[in-house]
Amino acid sequence: MREEKKWFSDHLIQRTVKALEGNGFKTILASDKNEALKEALQLIPEKAEVGIGGSVTVRELDLVSELSKRGNNVLETWSKKVTPEEDMAIRKGHLTCDVFITSSNAITEDGKLVNIDGMGNRVASMIFGPKKVIVIVGINKIVKDIHAGIERIRHTATPMNVKRMGGTTPCVIDVCDLENCQPPNRHCHVITIIEKIPTKTETTIILVKEELGF
């Protein structure tokens, strides 16, 4: 990496970390996904029940298998087939688990978390319920402000997520078209902006100095 690019990236990261901490979030800076995995495992008690929200980032760390190997009870729906009833029970379990782990669709330079959900269970668990929340985010998700965060989600993250899930929304076929994107195909239903750390939820951000997830 050129010296100028490294300088710019480091400056952006440090500015974002300072803002996150100013908003009350404990923030850990990890050099890569391997270090992020180690940091996450250190934050999670070995006997804890762990909920895993919908996140490509978390799966790229191989965190689910590492937690399962050491004996944690992991509540997640990606690695096994479950019935609709089991799926709903797992998602509700995220609200009462010891540790909930997910990513954020975007993080602003002034330290806010911006997310868009379909069902809303992921963002609900980020805000209230679990004893501890860990949010793992690659630097590709840092944006200027809330508006840029929503734009990033609609035009970058959502199309790739819909493609991953085999959907047929307008953003996969051509471009984002909110007027004609309707249920049941639509994926963007709930927008949340976490401006400060939620009052009763211990939240740690692990910011990773590489691109992860969508």
Over residues 110-128, the pLDDT tens digits come to 999 999 999 999 999 999 9
pLDDT at 204: 98
Q: From residue 115, give the alpha-carbon distance in Å to each of 6, 92, 129, 153, 212.
A: 28, 19, 18, 8, 16
* Residue 146, token pair as written in the block: 């809330």
pLDDT over threshold 80, residue 5: yes
pLDDT over threshold 80, residue 1: no
Which of the four pLDDT bands, split at 50, 70 and 90, describes residue 59? very high
pLDDT at 80: 79
CATH architecture of 3-208: 3-Layer(aba) Sandwich (3.40)
pLDDT at 115: 98
Q: CA 133, CA 51: separation in Å to the nearest integer?
A: 9
pLDDT over threshold 90, residue 47: yes
Domain boundaries, the chain: 3-208
Name every residue whose Cβ is closer than 8 Å to that of residue 49 and which is 6 or more positions away in sequence: 72, 73, 75, 93, 97, 98, 99
pLDDT at 81: 85
pLDDT at 78: 86
Point out which residues pair with 74 in neighbouring strands: 50
Point out which residues pair with 205 in neighbouring strands: 27, 135
**In 3D, which of 8, 23, 25, 47 has the Cα closest to residue 136?**
25
pLDDT at 39: 98
Which of the four pLDDT bands, split at 50, 70 and 90, describes residue 75? very high
The proportion of the chain whose per-residue pLDDT surpasses 70, expressed as a percent, equals 100
The proportion of the chain whose per-residue pLDDT surpasses 90, expressed as a percent, equals 94
Average predicted confidence (pLDDT) for the chain: 96
pLDDT over threshold 90, residue 36: yes
